[in-house]
C-alpha cells in the first residue's frame, strides 16, 4: 500500500510543479506587457492578444495606441526575454548535471565568453555570410561557443587525464578570462562601432523586435530538444561517468551531444541579447532545490522558471529608474549573486550539520 501512495504523491508534486511554473510564466508575461511608461490594463492586453490569435474576438473599446505598444514594443521584448531566459536556464541545468557541480554554467565554462567573441568579431568586421545573412551573428556565436568548450575540454584533458570537474571549471574560468581580455582589446580598437558593442555586451532585449525572436527560436527548439531527449542519460551521468557507462550509456557520445546543445543555446542567447549572467547558474539550482534533481522534469521546469525570471528582471531594468533603462545583465547580477551566495551558505550549513 505504501508504494502506490508514494507514487501518487510524486505525481501530485510534479503536477503542482508544472502548474506553478506555468502560472509563473503567464503572470510574468502579463506584468511585463502591462507595466511600463504607459500603463496598459491587463484586460486590454488580453483583448489585443486574443484578437491577434483569434480575429473574430471584438476589440473596439481598446485604444489603438495600446495595440501599437503591445504588438510592436512590449510583446516582442517580453517574448525575447522569455526565450533568452529559457535558453540560458536549460543550458545551465544541463551543464550542472553533466559536470555534477552547481557552479557549472555557460559563463564559468567559458562558453558565453566564446560566444561573445564570435558576436563581437561579427559586429566589429560587419560580417555577413552569403545565404545566411541575418543568421550570421547567431551562427558565428554558436560556432565560437562550441569551439571554446572543445578547447576547454581538450586543455583540461591535457592537464589531467581523468578530467575532474574542478579541472574543467578552472580551465573554463581561465579561458573566460583570456577571451574577456580579447574582447577588451577589440573594444579598444573599435571606432564607430564602440557604442553598439558596449551596449550589446551589457546585455539587453530592448528594441530588438520580432526579427530577433525569429533568430533565436529555431536554435532554442533544436538545443532544448537535444537536451530533453538526453534527460535520462543526464540522470545517469550525474552519478558519475563510470556508473553511467556501466548502465549502458555511451558517455562520450552523449557528453558531446549535451555540450553541443548547450553551446547552441548559449550562442543563440548571447547573439540576440548580449551577456546576461547568473540565469544559467542560479535558476537551475533553485529549480533543483524546489522540485528535485530528475532531469526529465528539471529541464522543462528550468525552461519555464528561467523564462519568467528574465521577463521580471527586464521589467525591473526598465522601470526601476524610469525613464532611464538599466542593462538587464546588471539586474540579473544584482539578484543572482546574493541568491547564489545564500544557496552556497545553506548547502555548507546543511553539510556541516
Classify residue 128 as left (phi > 0), alpha (psi -120 to 50) or beta: beta
In this predicted structure, which of 38-42, 53-57, 75-79, 144-148 has the lowest mean pLDDT?
53-57
The three-state secondary structure class of 187 is: helix
Residue 76 clears pLDDT 80, i.e. is over it: yes
Those residues whose C-beta lies under 8 Å from the C-beta of residue 281, and which sit 6 or more positions away, are: 92, 102, 103, 105, 107, 108, 336, 340
Q: What is the pLDDT of residue 4?
A: 60
**Helix 194-202 vs helix 165-188: crossing angle, to nearest 10:** 150
> Which pLDDT score is estimated for 102?
77
Least confident of 69-83, 119-133, 313-327: 119-133
The pLDDT, as a whole number, for residue 277 is 85
Query: What is d(CA 220, CA 212) in angstroms, rounded to the nearest whole number?
Result: 12
Task: State how far Cα 61 lies from the chain centre.
Answer: 38
Residue 7 parent element (H or E): helix 2-34
pLDDT digit string (tens) for 103-116? Answer: 788 887 888 899 88
Confirm if 245 and 173 have CB atoms less than 8 A apart: no
Q: What is the 3-state secondary structure (H, E, C) of 214-269?
A: HHHHHHHHHHHHHHHHCHHHHHHHCCCHHHHHHCCCCHHHHHHHHHHHHHHHHHHH
Residue 233 pLDDT:
92
Structural domains present in the chain: 17-352 (1.10.3470.10)
Start-to-end Cα distance in the chain: 34
Mean pLDDT of 171-197: 81
CB-based contact 99:346 (threshold 8 Å): no
The span from the CA of 12 to the CA of 15, in Å, is 5
Q: How many CA atoms lie within 13 A of 192 on its CB side?
A: 2
The Cα–Cα gap between 53 and 47 comes to: 10
User: What pLDDT was estimated at residue 94?
Assistant: 94
Q: What mean pLDDT, rounded, does the chain reach?
A: 86
- Look at residues 94, 95, 148 and name the one whose alpha carbon lies nearest to residue 119: 148
What is the rounded distance in angstroms from the CA atom of residue 41 to the CA atom of residue 24?
A: 19
Summarize the confidence of residues 3-30 as an average pLDDT: 83
Q: How far apart are alpha carbons 221 and 151 in whole angstroms? A: 26
pLDDT of residue 265: 93
Q: Are 222 and 87 in contact (CB under 8 A)?
A: no
pLDDT in tens, 302-332: 999 999 999 999 999 999 988 888 889 889 9
Alpha-carbon distance of 342 to 38, in angstroms, equals 36
Residue 278 falls in which region: left (phi positive, over 0), alpha (psi -120 to 50) or beta: left
Amino acid at each position: 500500500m505504501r508504494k502506490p501512495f508514494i507514487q501518487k504523491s510524486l505525481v501530485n508534486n510534479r503536477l503542482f510543479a508544472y502548474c506553478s511554473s506555468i502560472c509563473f510564466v503567464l503572470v510574468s508575461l502579463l506584468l511585463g506587457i502591462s507595466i511600463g511608461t504607459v500603463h496598459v490594463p491587463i484586460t486590454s492586453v488580453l483583448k489585443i492578444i486574443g484578437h491577434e490569435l483569434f480575429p473574430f474576438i471584438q476589440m473596439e473599446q481598446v485604444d489603438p495606441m495600446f495595440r501599437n505598444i503591445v504588438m510592436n514594443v512590449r510583446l516582442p521584448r517580453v517574448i525575447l526575454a522569455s526565450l533568452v531566459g529559457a535558453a540560458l536556464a536549460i543550458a545551465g541545468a544541463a551543464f550542472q548535471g553533466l559536470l555534477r557541480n552547481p557552479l557549472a554554467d555557460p559563463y564559468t565554462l567559458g562558453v558565453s565568453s566564446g560566444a561573445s567573441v564570435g558576436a563581437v568579431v561579427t559586429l566589429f568586421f560587419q560580417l555577413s555570410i552569403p545565404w545566411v545573412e541575418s543568421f550570421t551573428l547567431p551562427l558565428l556565436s554558436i560556432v565560437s561557443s562550441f569551439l571554446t568548450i572543445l578547447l576547454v575540454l581538450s586543455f583540461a584533458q591535457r592537464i589531467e587525464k581523468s578530467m575532474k570537474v574542478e579541472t574543467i571549471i578552472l580551465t573554463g574560468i581561465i579561458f573566460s578570462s583570456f577571451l574577456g581580455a580579447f574582447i577588451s582589446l577589440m573594444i579598444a580598437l573599435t571606432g564607430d562601432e564602440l557604442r553598439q558593442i558596449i551596449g550589446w555586451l551589457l546585455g539587453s532585449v530592448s528594441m530588438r523586435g520580432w526579427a530577433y525572436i525569429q533568430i533565436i527560436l529555431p536554435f532554442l527548439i533544436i538545443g532544448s530538444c537535444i537536451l530533453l531527449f538526453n534527460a535520462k542519460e543526464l540522470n545517469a551521468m550525474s552519478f558519475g561517468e563510470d556508473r553511467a557507462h556501466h548502465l549502458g550509456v555511451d558517455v562520450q557520445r552523449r557528453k558531446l551531444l549535451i555540450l553541443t546543445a548547450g553551446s547552441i543555446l548559449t550562442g543563440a542567447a548571447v547573439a540576440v541579447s548580449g551577456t546576461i549572467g547568473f540565469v544559467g547558474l542560479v535558476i537551475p539550482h533553485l529549480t533543483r532545490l524546489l522540485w528535485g534533481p530528475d532531469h526529465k522534469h528539471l529541464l522543462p521546469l528550468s525552461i519555464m522558471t528561467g523564462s519568467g525570471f528574465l521577463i521580471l528582471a527586464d521589467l525591473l531594468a526598465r522601470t526601476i529608474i524610469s525613464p532611464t533603462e538599466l542593462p538587464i545583465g546588471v539586474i540579473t547580477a544584482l539578484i543572482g549573486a546574493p541568491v547564489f551566495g545564500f544557496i552556497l551558505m545553506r548547502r555548507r550549513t546543511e553539510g556541516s550539520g
